[in-house]
Amino acid sequence: MFEASGVWTGYDDIDVIKGLDFTVGEEVFAILGANGAGKTTLLSAIAGLLPLTSGHIRFNGETISGIPPWRIAALGIGFVPQERGVFPDLTVLDNLRVGGLVAKQARGERIDEIMELFPALAGLRNQRAGTLSGGETKMVAAGRALMQDARLLLMDEPTAGLSPLYVENFFDRIRQIHETKQVAIIITEQNATKALEVADRAMVLSLGEAMTIVDAHDLTTDQLRKGYKI
Amino acid sequence: MSEGNGSAPGGRATIRISGLTKSFGDQTVVDIDELVLGAKPVEGLIGPNGAGKTTLMRLIMRSTRADTGTVVLDDGSSEVALSKLAPHRIASLGVVKTNQVTQDFAGLTIWDSLLLAVAQRHDERPHRIYRERHVVEAYGEEIQGYLDTFEFSEPGGFAHSAGEKKLLDLIRCLLLEPKILLLDEPTAGLSEEVTTQVIEMLRTKVAEGMSVIIVEHDLDVIWGFSDVVHFMAEGDVILEGDPDYIRAHSTVVEKYLGSGHV
């Protein structure tokens, strides 16, 4: 489904991602690593927001590296950034509608599905997204990405800055999204324990290099500590 | 968290923090009751993403305003409340910070940019630095020393790459002859070789009396360079100790990896 081969990318002349090779199937794939490991940079590159220095990325048989972000979104890759994932001046409903602009499925039907997935949003549909709490904002951002009929969801530290209650709830939703909507998910996380609870496989990233790629339940504490340098 | 009166043995200046808080919206990012920084020559500041490390540095430099609390510079003979001063005054007192995202004077050559730092140090008016040849000659050797240490692709021209701009930022800070240098991810994006050069340069400055407080995502740099490490989580410093103690502590592992991996 998804394949990254020899991927190098970064900012200006700084290499942040250094030669990554990995594939993602119909699964939840966790990218773990300390801050500075390159997790956000990698997701930005997959979403087309950052050009590759070398290598290529393929999705469903099509090379997506080098094409504009909106085309990547239209091909079915939804990006939920760590911050600024919503339009603050639009209502919750309008945020979801914007996400549905590139989808084939009827928008009304899809909005009902999102409200079912995140019941807390139902009562907030006419509220401006900029007035929501951190947890509610993350739900809208995830909902907006799902509205575009994504087949692969990129979620960048979706629980960062959320209260423990929201964190638990959000990880439950991630597994639910994957199982009920058959959406593959690449999730970056610093909190390895929570991510490994919902992931099928995991990659430990350290300073832009893959230390290991294994089944989530096979990842050892020693492998993690080595990757995090602790 | 720290104990002591803030005056460092051997005359090192320290930064004493009391009741320092900062929130963005409903999220508290820094909440420190008591903390002393700078008592040891090199102090590492680490913690998971969102722990508040960069915000704490910005609060010290007052590039971000605190909600409550005080930050005091204590050089052993006098105390100055940094939390009442403008950032440039804090720098002139010897507390200087490099930037995680490099501040670039794009229109200045490497030499002009470094001369500007020298002008700041000597309270010279910048035009005097640029117009009077003898002033340039007086400080030229010092600047050339740095340029000889780090290889710039065009030392007589502009800093071209992000790595060169990062080095330029560091050299500008060193030219201010800080008592305490705050480093925010100084080696991010630098090659292994240049990182080694930077650390060696900093070790020399530390031996001459400068103190370093360093935030760095490559923890190998922290473990190898720091005399003491402060571990931050959820806005507060919750552990302090030597690198081996911090590295082995179960709380550190838990905060980085989660409770299932202790």
Chain A residues with CB inside 8 Å of B256's CB? Answer: 34, 190, 192, 228, 230
Residues B153 and B210 in one domain: no
**What's the pLDDT at B3?**
37
**What's the pLDDT at B79?**
93
Residues B15 and B98 in one domain: yes
Residues B60 and B147 in one domain: no
Residues B94 and B215 in one domain: yes
Which of B49, B219, B257 is the closest to A193 by Cβ?
B257
| pLDDT reading at B123 higher than 70 | no
| pLDDT reading at B235 higher than 90 | yes
Highest mean pLDDT among B85-99, B158-172, B224-238: B224-238
Residues B190 and B235 in one domain: yes
In a domain, B110, yes or no: yes
**What's the pLDDT at A189?**
85
Residues B52 and B19 in one domain: yes
**What's the pLDDT at B128?**
66
Q: Which residue has the tokens 């592992």?
A: B253
In a domain, B163, yes or no: no
Residues B88 and B73 in one domain: yes
| pLDDT reading at B6 higher than 60 | no
Read off the CATH number of the domain in which B72 is found. Answer: 3.40.50.300
Confidence of residue A116 (pLDDT cuts 50, 70, 90): confident
| pLDDT reading at B136 higher than 80 | no
Residues B74 and B30 in one domain: yes
**What's the pLDDT at B260?**
66
Tell me: the pLDDT tens digits for A53-105?
A: 999 999 999 999 999 999 999 899 999 988 778 899 999 999 999 888 776 66
CB contact under 8 A, B258 and A191: yes
Q: What is the mean pLDDT of residues B73-82?
A: 92
Q: What is the mean pLDDT of residues A118-125?
A: 88
**What's the pLDDT at B204?**
94
CB contact under 8 A, A192 and B218: no
Interface residues of B toward A, Cβ cutoff 8 Å, are 26-27, 48-50, 161-163, 185, 188-189, 217-220, 223, 247, 252-253, 256-262
Confidence of residue B5 (pLDDT cuts 50, 70, 90): very low
Residues B97 and B20 in one domain: yes
Chain B interface, best mutation among A9, A11, A35, by max B CB count within 10 A: A35
**What's the pLDDT at A101?**
79
Q: What is the mean pLDDT of residues A120-126?
A: 89
Kindly report the average pLDDT of chain A as a whole number. Answer: 89
**What's the pLDDT at A28?**
96
Q: How many structural domains does chain B have?
A: 2
Which of B27, B49, B219 is the closest to A230 by Cβ?
B219
Tell me: the pLDDT tens digits for B201-216?
A: 999 999 999 999 999 9
| pLDDT reading at A163 higher than 90 | no
In a domain, B149, yes or no: yes
Confidence of residue B130 (pLDDT cuts 50, 70, 90): low
Q: What is the mean pLDDT of residues B93-100?
A: 88
Residues B43 and B29 in one domain: yes
Domains of chain A: 2-85+148-228 (3.40.50.300)
In a domain, B153, yes or no: yes
In a domain, B250, yes or no: yes
Residues B142 and B72 in one domain: no
Confidence of residue B8 (pLDDT cuts 50, 70, 90): very low
Which of B50, B217, B252 is the closest to A230 by Cβ?
B252
| pLDDT reading at A188 higher than 80 | yes
Residues B244 and B129 in one domain: no
In a domain, B172, yes or no: no
Question: Any idea which of A57-61, B20-24, B131-135, B233-237 has the lowest mean pLDDT?
Answer: B131-135
In a domain, B236, yes or no: yes
Q: Higher model confidence: residue A13 or residue B261?
A: A13
> Mind giving me the DSSP string for chain B?
---S-SPPGGG--EEEEEEEEEEETTEEEEEEEEEEE-SSSEEEEE-STTSSHHHHHHHHHTSS--SEEEEEEE-SS-EEEGGGS-HHHHHHTTEEE--SS----TTS-HHHHHHHHHHHHTT--HHHHHH-HHHHHHHHHHHHHHHHHS--SSTTS---SHHHHHHHHHHHHHHT--SEEEEESTTTT--HHHHHHHHHHHHHHHHTT-EEEEE-S-HHHHHHH-SEEEEEETTEEEEEE-HHHHHH-HHHHHHHH-GGG-
Domain containing B25 equals 9-103+181-261
In a domain, B168, yes or no: no
Confidence of residue A119 (pLDDT cuts 50, 70, 90): confident
**What's the pLDDT at A180?**
85
The residue type of A44 is S
Which of B161, B223, B256 is the closest to A228 by Cβ?
B256
